[in-house]
Structure 1
Amino acid sequence: MNINDVLDLFKMGKATAKSHMRNLIEIAAADGGLGTEEQRLLKYAAQRNNISSAELQAMQHDSSDIKFQVPGSDREKFKQLYDLVHMMSVDKNIHVEELRLCEIFAIKFGFRKEIVREMIDLIRENIAKWIGPEETMRTVVAKMKVFD
C-alpha cells in the first residue's frame, strides 16, 4: 500500500470501504459463484481497504446492512470502477450480469451513461495488459469526457 492508497483510505472512510467491498462481492457472485481468482482478488481488495478477513467473511455471508455509498472523489470513483471491472474480468469469463452491474455502478458513481460501456472496455483492455488504475485513468480521461 503506497501513501496515495493510505490517503484515499483516510478520505474514503470505513463505510465507503465496506460499500466498495459489498459491490465487489456482488460482482464476484453475479456469475453464480466465487472462483479462486475472484476470492483472491477479494482478499487483496479487503487488505487494501483495511477490512479484516473476519469482516470480509461476514460480508460474504450477509452484507445487507451495508449501504451503498458513492466515493467522494473522481479519483476514488475511477479506482473503484477499475476494481469492479477487474473483478468481472479476473476469471476471463465475462458474464452478462457482471457487465450489467459494472455499468450500473459506473452510472451511480456519476460517469456519463453514453460512455460507460466504452470506458469499461478500455479498462478491461488495460487490465489485460497489466496497466494499473492510475495510468488507466489518465488514458480514459484523455480519450473521453468521463464525468457528467
Structure 2
Amino acid sequence: MSTEDFYENIKKSTKLNHFANLVTLAAIDGEIKPIEEKLLKRFSKKFDVSEENYEKILDNSASFPVFAINSKTQRLEYLFDLIRIIYVDSKMDEAEEFLIIKYAVGLGYSEDLARSIVNKSKKLFEGNFSFDFYKHFIESED
C-alpha cells in the first residue's frame, strides 16, 4: 500500500466516523426526525458514504469508533473539520446549522457556546483559514 493510499484510507475512515457521529447525535433524543434524516442524506453525499454504509450506520452508528475529544483544542479542531465539510458548497443552511449546533453540544460545548462558535464560523467560512487563525478568532471576545 502506498503512502497516498494509506492517507486516502484514513481520510475515508475519518469521513465515515464523522458521519456516524452525526447520526448518533441526530438520534440522541430517541429518534431521527424527518428534518434530521433529510440533512443526514445530504451529509452522506458530502462524506461520500455509500448506501450500504449509510444503512449500516443508521442501524448501529455506535459500532463506528468515536475519536476521543480530550482537550479544548482537539474538540474545536474536530468541530472545525465538520464545519469545513459543511462549507464545501459555500453555505450553511438552517438544517445544517441545527445539526452542527446539536453536534457541538454533543462534543461538550454548552448550547450558548455552541451557537456562538457556529455564528462566528458562519462569518469566517467564506474562504480558507488555518486552524490557528480559526481557534484565535473563536476564542476571542465578540
Which of the five TM-score ranges fits, normalised by the shorter chain?
A: 0.5 to 0.7
Matched, 1:30 2:39: yes
The gaps in structure 2 that reach 5 residues or longer are 1-6, 27-35
Give secondary structure in 2 for the equivalent of 1:129. coil
Q: Identity of counterpart residues, as a percentage?
A: 13
Aligned position for 2:56:
62
Q: Specify the SS of the correspondent of 2:89.
A: coil
Cα distance in 2 between the residues matched to 1:65 and 1:34? 17
Query: Which one of the candidate residues 120, 123, 127 is aligned to 2:118?
Result: 120
- Report SS of the residue matched to 2:42: coil
For residues 100-143 of structure 1, give each alpha carbon's deviation from its aligned partner in whole angstroms, at most 9, with x where no partner exists.
11001111111122132221122233231311223201221233
Look up the match of 2:4: none
Residue 20 of structure 1 deviates from its aligned partner by 2.3
AA aligned to 1:129 is G
Count matched residues. 116
What is the TM-score normalised by the length of structure 2? 0.59
Measure, in 2, the Cα distance between the counterparts of 1:33 and 1:19: 16
Distance in structure 2 (CA, Å) of the matches to 1:122 and 1:107: 16
Do the aligned partners of residues 93 and 142 (structure 1) sit closer, same or farther apart at CA in structure 2, a change above 3 Å counting?
A: closer
The amino acid across from 2:60 in the alignment is D
What SS class does the counterpart of residue 74 from structure 2 fall into?
Answer: helix
Structure 1 residue runs of 5 or longer lacking an equivalent are: 1-5, 44-55
String of CA shifts for 1:3-46, please: whole Å, max 9, x gaps: xxx9xx9xxxx8x885424246888x6175369xx63xx36xxx
Q: How far apart in 1 are the matches of 2:101 and 2:81?
A: 13
Runs of 4 or more, structure 1, over 3 Å off, are 16-19, 23-27, 31-35, 56-61
- RMSD across aligned C-alpha pairs, in angstroms? 3.6
Q: Is the 8 A contact 2:90 2:125 kept in 1?
A: no
DSSP-derived class of the 1:59 partner:
helix
Greater C-alpha Rg: 2
Shift of the 88–105 alpha-carbon distance from structure 1 to 2, 3 Å rule, reads same
Sort the Cα spacing of 1:112 and 1:137 in 2 relative to 1 into closer, same or farther, 3 A. same
Question: Given the two structures, how large is their TM-score scaled by the length of structure 1?
Answer: 0.57
Instruction: Specify the SS of the correspondent of 2:60.
Output: coil
Structure 1 residue aligned with 2:30: none
